[in-house]
Chain A
Amino acid sequence: MAEAVAVDSWSGQGVRLSEVVGALADLRDQSSRHYASARTAVMTIVAVAPGDEQAYAATGALRALAGHHPARIVLLRPYPDEVASLDGRATLYSLDADNHSVNFEEVAIEVGGQAANHLDSLVEAFTLSDLPVAVWYVSSLPNPSDPLLGVADVVVVDSRDASDPVSLRGLLQLARRRTVVDLSWSRLKTWRDLGASLFEPLENREWLDAIEAVEVCGKVGPRGLIGGWIVDRIGLDEQAVSFTDARHVSFKLTARRDGREAAFAVERHDDRREVVATAVLPGLTPQIATAELPEDALASSLAESLTRLGPDPVWEAALSVATSLAGA
């Protein structure tokens, strides 16, 4: 897909929010007059990204998303410890998606001082009427008392950002109050699909009841979700699960029956963008399946996550067990 192209832009430093709102309205108006372009959106996406690197990654993913979920993008960069100020930028983008033009708007706000703790008061001026608002916390999990959550119909998080089991507990509490979509969970879909596919053949599925040990590698959040998912779905004893820290997620299930052992594994190797699933059953040739990972993992997991905007009971159950497994 082609990259989004900036059609027109405005920026101001040390401005009031109403100036940004006015500038955006003017840009839309001028754009409509010059290009007579239709502008349709299905949601407002608010991204909170304090650092340059996170902001860059987030905007790249969000602009790429326009072909699938045309949205107004509001990028918030809060700096509560700096002096009170507000810098704004409004940009109109056009994207050629499958031979049709998609137009969308992006507003970037850098806010310093106390207002950075009240981002909700900045956002509603930009939310599109009657459409869902997704609030994406880029690179950190939200504080449950963050007032910005009140604006969100959907909260987008990445459980990979969970630094410890306690933060997973906070995420679970949040999910009980609001619809939360987890980018890690979307990314892990490849692992989950391959893991499920290992038990599609009937001769393999018979081993499900005999699983005795589950080893999961990865970072705190993703490995917890995978462990929680397996325990919840097959009704396993939590004691059977062990975790190891690793860069990429992988998991291995060991089953024993009648003195024989079977192993089922889903792994990603460091140097390849593919996930490999292997089933080794006694007396049989190992079964292997692979799946390629998308080039732009962030954009594709975001697109996947935003396809459904309701709660995901399977994820919630997995998270619930994950917190229990982690002793949080």
Chain B
Amino acid sequence: MSGDVPPNPLAAGSDAVRQAPPGILVVVGASGDLTARKLLPAIEQLSRRRLLPRSFAVVGVARTELDDDGFRKLMTDSVPHAGAGWAELVKRSRYVTGEYGDPSTFQTLGKVLGEVEADIASTGNRTFYLATIPAVFELVADGLGAAGLNRPANEQSAVRLVIEKPFGRDLDSATELDAALHRNFDEAQIYRIDHYLGKETVQNVLALRFANAIFEPLWNRSFIDHVQITVAESLGVEKRGGFYETAGALRDIVQNHVMQVLSLTLMEPPGTIDAQGIRDEKVKALRSVVIPTLESVKTDVVRGQYDSGWSEGVAVQAYRQEPDVDPNSRTETFVAMKLMCDNWRWAGVPIYVRTGKRLPKRVTEVALQFHRVPHLAFGTAESQGLRPNALVLRIQPDEGVALRFGAKVPGQAFNVRDVLMDMSYGSAFMEDAPDAYERLLLDAMVGDPTLFIRSDEVDQAWRIVDPILEAWQGRAVPLSGYAAGTWGPRQAEQLIERDGRQWRKP
């Protein structure tokens, strides 16, 4: 609980303990795709699960000309099979049209918020969700500050600002963005969303490691040979060619999703599973990652771009032929890299990362491959194909945990083969896991920043990625093509084979 309002003693012991406090969720960029596709369905789910109080409303802000009824229709249309409470929530919602650079937009917003708070008897909790393009984050934060909307109206209420990745384009711009946000908001008010952290399976990395006695003792260089992180998409850039041209796989996936998963995998056990305990340890883990150099980028990082090919039985075009993409683009759609971590736990254990678009399947996983047994007593023929043990955390799809180990094939001979002990979340827990946005929205409104990214985490992630971006500025590091529907360029294979290892088949 945030401590904003006194806890409800009658709710003790029930799910309602994590009910959002009375307040308003202000969605800036309310007419956009993210709002309709992710935020409104997530709010409806929270409402359906009775995790929103009656004293709750949504206020939309955007440049698109809409009135209150137009926004209410958008809310209704975005959730076609809404639960009973949704219509009531929609009725209480309001909309403000305006340019983000125009102070009157935020003055009008302030007035509307006052009216809504009076209507719903809210104590003044306000969560501002910036579902806009990053270029206007600073403008909106300044507008909110200038209108006095950045500070709570009283000691019992809270004002929070939620922003979506990307947090800058490099370390310098991230630092500038932070400085701009901090002009109007304290760090404790800022909730940086990486929706990966809202996924149950990402959170389960913590549960697996720190709620079980059998894994953590093995979670170190003495037992683990190497780590592989794969974030693969079978889709191309679809309609996001314009955006992707400015981002690329390194900024779009590695700097945020991969670094978050990496830090949860490498971190030391926190003293307590709370926001400070976890985020402190994540930052420490990221600080231990060896910062690439221009020379190491040449050998340890591969960038690729998909050519035409076949994906899921369909002939697909090359990246450079996608809409809104420069025909001579040098934007990477694939990155493979080898990272090292200089600390007591992980020294000498390579971490291989692979991410890309138009790969053969959609899959995100972390695999810890253990050392080989010191001596294989079985004959070569009997143990052909037997690989070292691996613990695989499947983040999506088919979320779960799998352990690969050798087992005897039934029969007279002593043939040994890999088998998989496979725990599927869908089978183990019958209840549907909340969507990542549902979880994170509630956390933001409750005031729990555990699954949000702190400023120093963003900085540290950029410190790892920045030298790669710099190295790529020139032509020293080639951009390799790969056929759509394959696991990336040949150079990615060579990157890991050079160390006597192979990429997994996820």
Complex CA gap A131/B419 in Å reads 7
Asked if A310 is at the interface of the complex by the 8 Å CB criterion, the answer is yes
Binds A, one of B176-184, B197-205, B212-220, B360-368: B360-368
**B:328-360 near A, CB below 8 Å:** 360
Chain A neighbourhood of B397, CB < 8 A: 25
Complex CA gap A132/B418 in Å reads 9
Asked if A135 is at the interface of the complex by the 8 Å CB criterion, the answer is no
Asked if A115 is at the interface of the complex by the 8 Å CB criterion, the answer is yes
Asked if A326 is at the interface of the complex by the 8 Å CB criterion, the answer is no
- The reply to whether A129 and B392 form a contact with Cβ atoms under 8 Å apart is yes
Complex CA gap A109/B313 in Å reads 11
Complex CA gap A198/B161 in Å reads 85
- CB within 8 Å for A308 and B381 given contacts A129-B505, A131-B420: yes
A interface residues, tally (CB under 8 Å): 39
Partner of B404, one of A33, A115, A130: A130
Partner of A121, one of B312, B394, B419: B312
Asked if B377 is at the interface of the complex by the 8 Å CB criterion, the answer is no
**B:351-409 near A, CB below 8 Å:** 360-361, 363, 365, 367, 381-382, 384-385, 390, 392, 394, 397-398, 402, 404, 409
What string of 1s and 0s marks CB contacts (under 8 Å) between A22-51 and chain B?
A: 000100110011001011111000000000
Chain B neighbourhood of A29, CB < 8 A: 426
Asked if B494 is at the interface of the complex by the 8 Å CB criterion, the answer is no
- CB within 8 Å for A121 and B313 given contacts A36-B427, A129-B363, A130-B404: yes
Chain A neighbourhood of B311, CB < 8 A: 121
Chain A neighbourhood of B418, CB < 8 A: 42, 130-132
Q: How far is the CB of A92 from chain B (nearest CB, A)?
A: 13
Complex CA gap A130/B365 in Å reads 11
Chain A neighbourhood of B417, CB < 8 A: 42, 309
- The reply to whether B312 and A129 form a contact with Cβ atoms under 8 Å apart is no
Q: How far is the CB of B497 from chain A (nearest CB, A)?
A: 16
Asked if B210 is at the interface of the complex by the 8 Å CB criterion, the answer is no
Asked if A114 is at the interface of the complex by the 8 Å CB criterion, the answer is yes
Asked if B422 is at the interface of the complex by the 8 Å CB criterion, the answer is yes
- CB within 8 Å for A25 and B381 given contacts A40-B419, A121-B312, A307-B409: no
**B:487-506 near A, CB below 8 Å:** 504-506
- The reply to whether A115 and B381 form a contact with Cβ atoms under 8 Å apart is no
Most B CB contacts (10 A, CB to CB) among A28, A120, A129, A132 go to: A129
Chain A neighbourhood of B402, CB < 8 A: 129-130
- CB within 8 Å for A42 and B385 given contacts A16-B312, A29-B426, A121-B360: no
What string of 1s and 0s marks CB contacts (under 8 Å) between A111-138 and chain B?
A: 1001100101110110111111100000
What residue in chain A is nearest B404 (Cβ atoms)? A130
- CB within 8 Å for A121 and B420 given contacts A130-B390, A307-B411: no
What string of 1s and 0s marks CB contacts (under 8 Å) between B131-159 and chain A?
A: 00000000000000000000000000000
Chain A neighbourhood of B84, CB < 8 A: none
What residue in chain A is nearest B430 (Cβ atoms)? A33
Chain B neighbourhood of A109, CB < 8 A: 313
- The reply to whether B385 and A310 form a contact with Cβ atoms under 8 Å apart is yes
**A:123-167 near B, CB below 8 Å:** 124-125, 127-133, 153
Most A CB contacts (10 A, CB to CB) among B310, B418, B506 go to: B310
Q: How far is the CB of B305 from chain A (nearest CB, A)?
A: 18
- The reply to whether A118 and B310 form a contact with Cβ atoms under 8 Å apart is yes
Asked if B296 is at the interface of the complex by the 8 Å CB criterion, the answer is no
Asked if A68 is at the interface of the complex by the 8 Å CB criterion, the answer is yes
Asked if B314 is at the interface of the complex by the 8 Å CB criterion, the answer is yes
Complex CA gap A127/B506 in Å reads 8
Asked if B87 is at the interface of the complex by the 8 Å CB criterion, the answer is no
- The reply to whether A42 and B419 form a contact with Cβ atoms under 8 Å apart is yes
Complex CA gap A160/B330 in Å reads 50
- The reply to whether B420 and A153 form a contact with Cβ atoms under 8 Å apart is no
Q: How far is the CB of B378 from chain A (nearest CB, A)?
A: 12
Complex CA gap A28/B419 in Å reads 19
Asked if A99 is at the interface of the complex by the 8 Å CB criterion, the answer is no
Chain B neighbourhood of A216, CB < 8 A: none
Asked if B76 is at the interface of the complex by the 8 Å CB criterion, the answer is no
Q: How far is the CB of A153 from chain B (nearest CB, A)?
A: 7
Most B CB contacts (10 A, CB to CB) among A25, A32, A130, A153 go to: A130
Asked if A319 is at the interface of the complex by the 8 Å CB criterion, the answer is no
**A:65-81 near B, CB below 8 Å:** 68
Asked if A239 is at the interface of the complex by the 8 Å CB criterion, the answer is no
Chain A neighbourhood of B367, CB < 8 A: 130
Chain B neighbourhood of A114, CB < 8 A: 315
- The reply to whether A125 and B234 form a contact with Cβ atoms under 8 Å apart is yes
Q: How far is the CB of B196 from chain A (nearest CB, A)?
A: 19
- The reply to whether A86 and B384 form a contact with Cβ atoms under 8 Å apart is no
Chain A neighbourhood of B309, CB < 8 A: 121
- The reply to whether B398 and A25 form a contact with Cβ atoms under 8 Å apart is yes
- The reply to whether B385 and A309 form a contact with Cβ atoms under 8 Å apart is yes
Most A CB contacts (10 A, CB to CB) among B385, B411, B415 go to: B385
- The reply to whether A125 and B360 form a contact with Cβ atoms under 8 Å apart is yes
Complex CA gap A244/B494 in Å reads 49
What residue in chain A is nearest B380 (Cβ atoms)? A310
- The reply to whether A111 and B420 form a contact with Cβ atoms under 8 Å apart is no
Partner of A18, one of B312, B409, B421: B312
- The reply to whether B310 and A115 form a contact with Cβ atoms under 8 Å apart is yes
Chain B neighbourhood of A125, CB < 8 A: 234, 312, 360-361
Asked if A17 is at the interface of the complex by the 8 Å CB criterion, the answer is yes
Chain B neighbourhood of A33, CB < 8 A: 426-427, 430
What residue in chain B is nearest A109 (Cβ atoms)? B313
**A:254-296 near B, CB below 8 Å:** none
Q: How far is the CB of A116 from chain B (nearest CB, A)?
A: 9
Complex CA gap A279/B420 in Å reads 48
What residue in chain A is nearest B384 (Cβ atoms)? A310
- The reply to whether B313 and A310 form a contact with Cβ atoms under 8 Å apart is no
Complex CA gap A23/B505 in Å reads 22
5 extra A-B contacts, CB within 8 A, seeds A16-B314, A114-B315, A133-B505: A17-B312, A17-B314, A36-B427, A42-B419, A130-B418
24 contacts across the A-B interface (CB closer than 8 A): A18-B312, A32-B427, A40-B420, A42-B417, A42-B418, A109-B313, A115-B310, A118-B310, A121-B311, A121-B313, A122-B313, A125-B234, A125-B312, A125-B360, A129-B365, A129-B394, A129-B506, A130-B504, A131-B420, A133-B505, A153-B385, A308-B415, A309-B385, A309-B417
Which 10 pairs of residues, A with B, have the shortest CB-CB distance? A310-B384, A124-B360, A32-B427, A121-B310, A118-B310, A17-B312, A115-B313, A309-B385, A121-B485, A122-B313
